[in-house]
A = this chain, B = another copy of it.
Amino acid sequence: MWFLWSFSDPRNPSIFRRSPFKCRRRFRSATLSIHRSIVAKVQVQVPLESMAVSYFHIVQSGRGFHKGNLSYANCSSKGRRTHRLVFASIHTSDPKVDSLLDSVKWDNKGLAVAIAQNVDTGAILMQGFANREAVATTLSSRKATFYSRSRSTLWTKGETSNNFINVHDVFLDCDRDSIIYLGKPDGPTCHTGAETCYYTSVFDLLKQKEDEGNKLALTSLYALESTISQRKTELTGENEKPSWTKRLLLNDQLLCSKIREEANELCQTLENNEDKSRTASEMADVLYHAMVLLAQKDVKIEDVLQVLRLRFSQSGIEEKRSRVSQKPSDH
């Protein structure tokens, strides 16, 4: 099974569109006219009713070449331009991918909900819909790819903004009708420039706080980071008695002595066999004070988690430590 994936003008790479076609009927064979200048004879193999995007089977591929699961066809042109049709096989070289895509419970439009989540912070970046083609593309390209219902076309987040979401893993839910693209964004995901698309708090709106500016949907760790960072911006020109966070930000010596003190107290909960709630509380203290230091150094907790992920995915942390402990002088 093949579908028309894109067409491009080899002399003008900026003209490059993905799946710009919508077929509303079941074709056995059809001649499609594309942008007045390209003609391709295609045969549809699958019931279109169940598809969000029409799939095509190439009958006459014209002159062209194959590369992986992509087939490039140079097409006859009525005008002065030569165009290239790019067909992609959804039945990739890997039948396991096909069988996996078969197991997804696509809705009656051939879609499933796809949620992009930041692998380090857990922030929900955006939510879209994916069809079979979008998931297949995501799995092969490792870039979060969706199906735009309004434009009836496949789109890879970042194809215009360059803020791709680099997918590390894809998860299906228990019903197999909802998908998580767990990945690392190259930059802000929202077209507004916001880090994520979820910056409108309903409870703030109800309290008529809209004018106070947007508030990202932040989980506990990042809400704390955000407040510490806010305190830092408020440091200058303040006359009131500063908060504890501000005092720490104004006094490196105090901050460092607190971090050492809290780390010590965390250890004591183990050494003195204190109860679990005490450990949680002391760890919270360590985390909070260390995060003030991060803010002081302009380091994001996301960067720290990325360090852990990279070390960890290479089993590096354990390896490095093993090495270090054998040669303590290195550390």
- Measured CB to CB, the residues of A under 8 A from B are 94, 96-97, 100, 113, 115, 117-124, 126-127, 139, 169-176, 178, 180, 182, 190-192, 194, 197-203, 205-206, 208, 217, 219-221, 223-224, 227, 243-245, 247, 252, 255-256, 259-260, 262-264, 266-267, 269-271, 276, 279-281, 283-284, 286-288, 290, 293-294, 296-299, 301, 303-309, 311-312, 317-322, 325
Shortest C-beta distance, A253 to chain B (Å), equals 8
Shortest C-beta distance, A194 to chain B (Å), equals 7
Contact B223 A309 (CB under 8 A): yes
User: Among the listed B127, B288, B293, B325, which residue makes an inter-chain contact with A266, where contact means beta carbons less than 8 Å apart?
Assistant: B293
Q: List the B side residues contacting A299 at CB < 8 Å.
A: 276, 279-280, 283
Given contacts A172-B200, A284-B307, contact A220 B119 (CB under 8 A): yes
Contact B117 A170 (CB under 8 A): no
Q: List the B side residues contacting A304 at CB < 8 Å.
A: 280, 283-284, 287
Given contacts A252-B270, A287-B308, A297-B270, contact A198 B221 (CB under 8 A): no
A92 and B288 CA atoms in complex are apart in Å by: 40
Additional 18 contacts, C-beta under 8 A, given A121-B122, A244-B322, A286-B290: A113-B113, A119-B219, A120-B219, A127-B178, A139-B202, A139-B206, A171-B201, A174-B191, A174-B200, A182-B217, A219-B305, A221-B305, A245-B318, A247-B325, A260-B264, A263-B290, A280-B304, A283-B304
